[in-house]
Amino acid sequence: MSGDSTKKTIIVALGVCLVCSVLVSSAAVALNSIQEDNKRIDKLKNILEAGDLYTDKGSIEKTYKDKIEGIIIELKTGEVLPEEKHSEKLNVATFNIEEMADDAEYGVDIPADEDIAGIKSKPKYMPVYEVKNKDEVEKYIFPIYGKGLWSTLYGFIAIDKDLKTIRGITFYQHGETPGLGGEVDNPKWKASWNGKKAFGENNEVKINILKGKVDPSDSNSEFKVDGLSGATITTRGVDNFVKYWLGEHGYGPFIENLRQEGNQHE
Ligand SMILES: Cc1cc2nc3c(=O)[nH]c(=O)nc-3n(C[C@H](O)[C@H](O)[C@H](O)COP(=O)(O)O)c2cc1C
C-alpha cells in the first residue's frame, strides 16, 4: 500500500468518526428534554400507583392534577411550608431529592448511628402528596429512599387518612437485580402492602418485612410483609428505609402533627 492511500484511509476513518460523534451527541442533546419529561411522567405515574389512582398512560397528568395536591413540609418540625415560601428549589413540581440532600443550604448530614436507610444525607424539606376527594385528604403519599444491595431505591409509600394503614408502595428508580431484589416491582408483592398497619397502639413504627413468609394465623400479621426470596439484602434495605422515613427522623413529626390536629394541617 502506498503512503498516499494510507493517508487517505486515515482521513476517511477520521471523517467517519467525526460525523458519527456529531450525530450521536446531537441526538443525545435533542433527546435529553424528552428523556427528562419521560422521567417526570414516570414519577407522577408512581405517585398515582402508590395512591391506587393510576388508570392509563394517557391520563397521568390529568389525574395527577385533579386528585393530588403537593405540599412541602419541614421534616424536623413536621410543619407545612406556606406557598409564599416556595421557591425555585423548594418546589413540588421540580423537587430533586438527590440534589437537595447534597445542597449546602437545604441538605443535612445524617449521624451514622441514625442512618438506618444508608443515605448519609437528606433534604431538610420534603414534598408530600395528598390524595384529595373534594377538600378532604384520603391518603398521604410520602417519598421514600434508601440503600438496597446494589443501589439506592427511590419510591413512594401511601398512608391512609387513619394515619395507620398502608395503602400502597412503589419504586420508580433502583438498580437491584431483576428477579431478585428487582422483585420490589412485582405487582403482587406491592399489593401485599395494602391494608398492612404501619404504626402500633402507641403510634410507634411497627411495620416489618420478614425474611420469609407471613404466617396468616400470627395475631400480628397485619404489621408484617413477606420478604423477597433470594433477596434478603434488598428486603432488609427496604425494611430499614421504610422504618426510617415513617419514623421520628422522617415524616414522624408531620404525621404526629396531623394526629394532634385531627388529620388537618393549617
Ligand atoms: C448476580 C447476583 C445478583 C444478586 N442480586 C441481589 C439483589 O438484587 N438483592 C439481594 O438482596 N440479593 C441479591 N443477590 C443475592 C445476595 O448475594 C444474597 O445471597 C441474598 O441477598 C441472600 O438472600 P436469601 O437469604 O433470601 O437467599 C444476588 C446474587 C448474585 C449472585
DSSP 8-state code for residue 226: P
Q: Is 181 in the pocket of ligand 1 (CB under 6 A)?
A: yes
In a domain, 18, yes or no: no
Helices 60-67 and 3-50 pack at an angle, to 10 degrees, of 40
Query: Which of 35-44, 101-110, 138-147 shows the lowest mean pLDDT across its residues?
Result: 35-44
In a domain, 28, yes or no: no
What is the overall mean pLDDT for the chain? 94
What would the mean pLDDT of 194-206 be, rounded to a whole number? Answer: 96
Q: How far is the CA of 53 from the centre of ligand 1 (A)?
A: 32
Choose between 196 and 34: higher pLDDT: 196
Per-residue burial over 46-67, b = 16 or more CB atoms within 10 Å of its CB, e = otherwise: bbbbbbebbeeeeebeebbeeb
In a domain, 96, yes or no: yes
- Between CA 172 and CA 174 the distance in angstroms is 7
Tens of pLDDT, residues 3-18 = 678 889 999 999 998 9
Whether the full predicted model's pTM is greater than 0.85, yes or no, is yes
In a domain, 215, yes or no: yes
Looking from the CA of residue 182, the nearest atom of ligand 1 is: 8
Choose between 34 and 243: higher pLDDT: 243
In a domain, 16, yes or no: no
Owning domain of residue 230: 70-260
Looking from the CA of residue 229, the nearest atom of ligand 1 is: 26
Please count the structural domains in the chain.
1
Task: State the cell numbers at 71.
Answer: 405540599
Query: Which of 52-61, 148-157, 185-194 shows the lowest mean pLDDT across its residues?
Result: 52-61
Task: State the cell numbers at 159.
Answer: 398512608
Q: Is 229 in the pocket of ligand 1 (CB under 6 A)?
A: yes
Question: Above 70 in pLDDT, residue 127?
Answer: yes
In a domain, 183, yes or no: yes
The enclosing H or E element of 36 equals helix 3-50
